[in-house]
Structure 1
Amino acid sequence: MSRSTDPGHFFQTSVSLSEAERKAKKSSNNNGIPIKLRSKILAVATDPDDTDAIYVAEAAGTVKKLSLENSKTTLLLTGPTAPLTSLALSTPTPACSSTRTLFAGCWDKAIYSWQLPYNTRGRTFVGHADFVKTLLFVPLPGRDVLLSGAADGAIFVWDVASGAKLSELKGHERGVLALTLDPVLGDEGKSVVVWSADSVREIRGWSVGVEGGDVVAKSLDPQAPIVAHETSVNALRFDADGDLWTASSDKTVKCLSRERGWAEEMSLSHPDFVRDVVVDERGGFVVTACRDEEVRVWERGSGELRHTFSGHFEEVTGLLLLGQLVVSISIDATVRRWSLAPEDLRQARLDAERAAKGEVKEEDKPKESLMTEEEERELAELMDESD
């Protein structure tokens, strides 16, 4: 009887070994036209200047710009030595610069930056007591700021030009996981409203603006956070109607109605933690990323599950919506692309139904031989004689 000499097998249960085998087998699939990288992908951001490109943050401490057209890495930004968890890009403004700055939050508690398109290292923002989880660039009148949320529960407001910490927003008791800009609230030309979510389950609103040349940041209502989930809120997204979509570790995605005081309008149940959500206004879909490796497409109006894209073999960590294309990232170190175009989605559903029935697509079927059985036997004999 043979015994494994692999030390990694000594303390593994049959369940964990079976799971490892399942993932290894699934990893060879080409669903979503995967772009394969070398380390876990923890964040993704669009390139406002190139609709064919995206930026990804890796656990290896690098930021890469990827071309979706040819699946190539077109830019590599280095410097950090710990995992990068979040990304944000500045908007060129008279207050800051005619170029863009890319910011990346890191496990080492710092925020790194690079000047684009020159790709030179910029300022490093230091101040958090725990790893940085989320970033948000906010252009204000005459002054651009960067907001950062971290596992220490703090939200810092940074001056982009000088790197100085301008303010600290207090209210969250645990780690801040998400930040987003409110598209409706705010005083145009003076202030904006930002929403944050944490690992306790609270969603809080903040006003950030300029008064007398100084940046002033304060809570909208410190006594009344939005509580719509049972545990961590991992992502916040506003739709075109100004309603708020939330993704949570309580295994749900919810739509909170602005008109009804952020009351729950819809809830989408999942089998595991939900990491991200995007809303496709054109197609009327909501797309979600789940820890169970799947990307799901839901009907916006009815909440009906329309399709499940399978391809990732580890947790899906983030989503981007580029027109009718959904880009997903995962700790399986791949970027995958899924089309929401009506014909493509219809075909994806048909392929999934056939696969569930064990049917093989025509192009995957083995080709029938054009020779008769006797001719095949004669050929086999000739091959044997030639050995």
Structure 2
Amino acid sequence: MSRSTDPGHFFQTTTYLTESARKASKSKNTFGNPLKLTSKILAVAADPENNNRVYVAEAAGATSEISAVYTGPAAPLTSLYISTHSNTLFAGCWDKSIWSWSCSTRKPAQRYQGHNDFVKAVLCVSVHGREILISGSTDASIIVWDVRTGDKLHILKGHTRGVLALAIDPFTLSEPTVYGTEQAKASDEAIAFFSAGSDREIRRWSLTSVSASEVPSAPESPSPILSHDTSVDALRFDADGDLWTASADKSAKCLSRQQNWEADTELTHPDFVRDVVVDEEGGWVVTACRDEQVRVWEKGSGKLYHTFDGHFEEVTGLVLLSGQRLVSVSIDATIRQWSLKAPDLEKARKEAENERLGNEKEQEGNKESLLTEDEERELAELMDESE
């Protein structure tokens, strides 16, 4: 007996049908010059060799076309990191491993296996000339690997639930970092990196070429850091060394280094916040939300400045390119690009306001048109009698 997978052959609620119709209609918009792929996009990273290109979960795409496809994993990819030290692309996967490819040949390289559940976060750093891979998993562990040999160097425990995000502390590096690329080399001292997960905890770790351990708690700097009510999905450092976080408690926060990682800014959202990036040149903080929106906030005041509306499903990742260009990706399978330059943002704000006013007038007109001529005449007579 044949079985259908067509949703139209099954019972569907009115709410589901209404929402499906809304998304189908919204999917036709061209805001952000969308590049359409074939599947959901869960991760994005900047290409360190080309300012006009990004890597996403299954393809490396320019703003107008896919330029390369990296194959191998049969399960979804969750996270990406590009090492300029070895010219290697790393990807965390649902199959419990980290895949890697040579960026120059696009051929599969080392595969790192050792986690017991989905790999949700990966990053790389060169420690005293030794390239180190760090991975976080929903098995609640962090593994430190030797990139060249594939050996597990350390298994770090502390989180009680899945590890969802990792970030290297740039103030413990001898060279500045760029998120998503391995531009950093460790100083003569230990480097520090931060982890966060679905247990709402943010933990700090110390790493050298021969050891790795959690930074002990101190009265002036307690550990773990507990700034959110639930899962923390993203960690990003800004130029001041402060830590920006994105959480499923519907907020993004800035944890101040000078205040021992206490939150000094909170950006409130209507739904889960999936990612956050900081545009230092423009003074903006940008957030990705499950409600399909990309929001631009004033970094200094924490005020919402503009909302980019284009995606029609949850926004899963953000990345900044040169020239104040923002790229967003979503499970709607589109990559979109937005300008954060002040004149372009102001133009976008005015266009959004004009569209809002136009929609309000249209809705008002629709309400008025619900009455027939006889009903309008009767209503007018009743109004006259009441005077």
Fold agreement, TM-score > 0.5 = yes
TM-score (norm 2): 0.85
SS of residue in 1 equivalent to 2:15: helix
Name the structure 1 match of 2:14: 14
Alpha-carbon separation, structure 2, partners of 1:145 and 1:331 = 30
Tell me which residue corresponds to 1:239: 238
Unaligned runs of 5+ residues in structure 2 are 174-185, 361-387
C-alpha distance in 2 between matches for 1:136 and 1:11:
44
Structure 1 residue aligned with 2:72? 79
Cα deviations across residues 292-330 of structure 1 (Å, max 9, x unaligned)? 000000011111110000000000000001131110000
Aligned partner letter, 1:220: V
SS in 1 for 2:358: coil
Per-residue deviation, 1:9: 5.8
TM-score (structure 1 length as normaliser): 0.85
Q: 1:44-78 CA deviation, whole Å, 9 max, x = no partner?
A: 01111111110000xxxxx211112xx11111110
Asked if structure 2 preserves the Cα contact closer than 8 Å seen for 1:140 and 1:190, the reply is no
Asked if the contact 2:172–2:190 (Cα under 8 Å) also holds between the matched residues in 1, the reply is: no
Partners of 1:271 and 1:141 lie apart in 2 by 44
Matches within 5 A, 1:49-128: 49-57=49-57, 63-68=58-63, 71-92=64-85, 97=86, 100-128=87-115
* 2:299 partner amino acid: R
Map of 1:337 onto structure 2 = 337
For the aligned residue pairs, the C-alpha RMSD in angstroms reads 1.6
The alpha-carbon deviation at position 147 of structure 1 amounts to: 0.3
**Other-structure match for 2:216:** 221
Q: Which amino acid aligns with 2:268?
A: S
Deviations 1:193-212 (A, max 9, x none): 000001010000001112xx
CA distance in 1, matches of 2:298, 2:7: 48
| Aligned partner letter, 1:159 | D
CA deviation map 1:174-194 (0-9, x unaligned) = 000000010113672242100
Q: Which amino acid aligns with 2:315?
A: V
Whether 2:169 is the aligned partner of 1:176: answer no
Query: Aligned residues, how many?
Result: 339
CA distance in 1, matches of 2:15, 2:136: 37
Structure 2: which amino acid aligns with 1:317? T
Deviation per CA, 1:128-168, whole angstroms, max 9, x where unpaired?
00010000111110211100000000000010000011100
Large movers: runs of 4+ above 6 Å: none
8 Å Cα contact 1:183-1:242 kept in structure 2: yes
The match for 1:369 is none
**Is 1:23 matched with 2:18?**
no
Structure 2 partner of 1:372: none
Whole-angstrom CA distance in 2 between matches of 1:296 and 1:318? 12
For 1:209 and 1:9, how far apart are their aligned partners in 2?
58
Matches within 5 A, 1:261-276: 261-276=260-275
Q: Which has the higher contact order (CA 8 A, sep 6+)?
A: 2
Aligned mates of 1:314, 1:122 — CA distance in 2: 33
CA distance in 2, matches of 1:336, 1:147: 29
Superposed CA deviations along residues 25-60 of structure 1, whole A, max 9, x for unmatched, are: 000000000000000000001111111110000xxx
Asked whether the equivalents of residues 110 and 124 of structure 1 are also in contact (C-alpha less than 8 Å), the reply is yes
Counterpart of 2:32 in 1: which secondary structure? coil
Q: State the distance in 2 between where 1:359 and 1:147 align.
A: 49
State the 1:12 CA deviation: 1.9
Q: 1:6: Cα distance to partner?
A: 6.3
Give yes or no for contact 1:40–1:332 (8 Å, CA) kept in 2: yes
The answer to whether the 8 Å contact 1:141/1:190 transfers is no
* Distance in structure 2 (CA, Å) of the matches to 1:314 and 1:55: 20
One-letter identity of the residue aligned with 1:327: V
Partner SS state of residue 357, structure 1: helix
Aligned to 1:230: 229
2 CA distance for matches of 1:303 and 1:287?
11
Alignment partners' CA distance in 1, 2:106 and 2:32: 29
CA distance in 1, matches of 2:263, 2:90: 33
Residue correspondence of structure 1 range 287-326 to structure 2 within 5 A: 287-323=286-322, 324-326=324-326
- Structure 2 letter corresponding to 1:296: R
In 2, the alpha carbon distance for the partners of 1:263 and 1:133 equals: 26
Distance 1:140 1:308, change over 3 A: same
Tell whether 2:208 aligns with 1:209.
yes
Letter aligned with residue 218 of structure 1 = S
